[in-house]
C-alpha cells in the first residue's frame, strides 16, 4: 500500500539526477525539489528544479493549498542554507509562477499547442495556394470584402513559419531533440514544444544569455510561446544556485547565431561553448541585428516563392 507523499528541498548530492520536467541535469549542490512516494516494495523519487515544479492538483484544487502554505507546512528543508526559512519568498515565487499557469481546466491549450495549431492551419492554407484553388474557391474569394481578403492573406512571417514547420513535421521526437541539442536549447516537452522551439530558433537564432544576471540561459516559456525567461544559473565558485526572474518578449530576447540544422563540427561546438562562457557579451537582439535581419529576410523571400511537390501527402 502506498504511503504519504513527501516533498523535500535539498542541495543535489551529485550531478547525476535530471529534472523530471525539463530533462536537464541538476548540477551538484544545486537546489532541487524532490517528490517521494512509497511503491509496493520500493520508494519512487522524482527531482525537479524549483522553477519547473508544479503543485499537484490534489493540493491546489482539493485542499486549497497555496505555494506559501506548501513551502511552510509541507516542504521539508534539507538545504545547507535552510532556504525555506531564510529565503521563503524566493522559493514561493518560483513555485507560484507554475501555479498561475495550471489553467487547462478552463478548456484552453498550452502556449506551444496554440502556436503549432496556428502554424498547421497556415501551412494548410499555403499548400492550398501552391496546389491551386478551385473555381468555387476563387468565386468565394472574389465575393469577400477587400478588408476580409487582406485579413485572410498570410503574412511573410506566417509563410516562413509554415515552411520551417513543413521541414520538421514528420520527424520523430528524438530527431527534433537532436536539432535542439546541436543548438544548446531545452529538449524537454512534447512534440509541439519541440517544434515551437525549432521554428523560433531557425527564424530568429538561438536563445542567448540572460541580459539581467548575465550568466543564465534564456528559455522559451512553455505556457506563453511569445515569451522567453531565465530561471538563474549555478555559481561554481560559491557552489550555489543563483535565481533569476528575468522575462521578455521573443522580439526582445537575446540571440546567438548561427542556428545549426546539421550537427556542428567540434570546432563549432567549442565556439558555442566559449560564447556561453563569455556570458551576455555575445548576445544580439533578434529584432535589431543586421545579420539576423538579412538571414530572416532571405527565409521570408524564399517562403514567398515556394514551389513544392505536394502530390503525395
Q: Where are the alpha helices (DSSP H) in the chain?
A: 57, 67-69, 83-86, 88-99, 111-131, 135-142, 146-152, 156-168, 173-182, 191-204, 266-277, 290-304
Segment 203-255, tens digit of pLDDT: 999 998 998 888 888 888 765 557 888 888 888 788 777 888 888 888 889 99
pLDDT digits (tens, 9 = 90+) for 2-13: 567 899 999 988
- pLDDT bucket at 109, cuts 50 / 70 / 90: very low
Minimal CA–CA distance to 22: which of 205, 229, 312, 282? 229
Residues 249/284, Cβ–Cβ less than 8 Å: no
pLDDT the model gives residue 202: 93
Contacts of 26 (CB under 8 A, 6+ apart): 12, 15, 17, 18, 19, 32, 47, 49
The sheet with strand 254-256 has its strands ordered as: 206-207, 254-256, 284-285
Rg for the chain, CA atoms, rounded = 23
Specify the pLDDT at position 312: 46
Q: At what angle do helices 290-304 and 191-204 cross, to 10 degrees?
A: 110
The model's pLDDT over 133-190, given as tens digits with 9 standing for 90+, comes to 444 444 444 454 544 444 456 778 888 888 898 899 899 989 999 999 999 888 877 8
**Alpha-carbon gap, residue 188 to 271, rounded angstroms:** 24
DSSP 282: G
Distance, in Å, from the CA atom of 151 to the CA atom of 163, rounded to the nearest integer, reads 20
Amino acid at each position: 500500500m502506498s504511503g504519504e507523499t513527501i516533498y523535500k528541498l535539498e542541495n543535489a548530492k551529485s550531478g547525476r539526477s535530471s529534472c523530471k520536467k525539463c530533462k536537464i541535469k541538476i548540477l551538484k549542490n544545486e537546489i532541487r525539489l524532490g517528490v517521494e512516494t512509497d511503491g509496493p516494495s520500493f520508494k519512487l523519487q522524482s527531482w525537479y528544479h524549483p522553477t519547473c515544479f508544479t503543485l499537484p492538483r490534489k493540493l491546489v484544487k482539493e485542499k486549497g493549498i497555496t505555494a506559501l502554505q506548501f513551502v511552510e507546512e509541507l516542504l521539508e528543508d534539507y538545504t545547507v542554507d535552510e532556504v525555506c526559512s531564510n529565503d521563503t519568498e524566493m522559493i514561493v515565487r518560483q513555485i507560484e509562477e507554475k501555479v498561475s499557469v495550471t489553467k487547462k481546466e478552463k478548456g484552453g491549450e498550452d502556449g506551444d499547442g496554440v502556436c503549432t495549431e496556428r502554424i498547421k492551419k497556415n501551412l494548410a492554407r499555403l499548400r492550398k495556394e501552391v496546389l491551386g484553388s478551385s473555381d468555387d474557391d476563387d468565386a468565394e474569394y472574389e465575393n469577400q470584402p477587400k478588408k476580409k481578403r487582406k485579413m485572410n492573406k498570410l503574412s511573410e512571417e506566417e509563410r516562413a513559419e509554415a515552411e520551417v514547420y513543413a521541414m520538421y513535421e514528420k520527424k520523430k521526437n528524438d530527431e527534433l531533440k537532436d536539432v535542439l541539442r546541436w543548438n544548446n536549447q531545452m529538449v524537454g516537452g512534447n512534440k509541439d514544444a519541440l517544434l515551437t522551439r525549432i521554428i523560433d530558433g531557425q527564424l530568429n537564432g538561438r536563445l542567448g544569455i540572460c541580459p539581467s544576471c548575465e550568466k543564465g540561459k534564456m528559455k522559451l516559456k512553455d505556457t506563453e510561446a511569445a515569451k522567453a525567461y531565465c530561471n538563474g544559473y549555478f555559481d561554481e565558485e560559491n557552489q550555489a544556485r543563483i535565481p533569476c526572474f528575468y522575462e521578455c518578449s521573443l522580439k526582445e530576447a537575446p540571440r546567438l547565431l548561427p542556428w545549426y540544422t546539421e550537427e556542428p563540427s567540434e570546432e563549432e561546438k567549442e565556439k558555442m561553448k566559449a560564447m556561453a562562457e563569455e556570458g551576455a557579451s555575445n548576445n544580439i537582439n533578434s529584432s535589431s541585428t543586421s545579420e539576423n535581419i538579412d538571414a530572416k529576410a532571405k527565409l521570408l523571400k524564399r517562403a514567398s516563392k515556394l514551389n513544392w511537390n505536394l502530390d503525395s501527402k
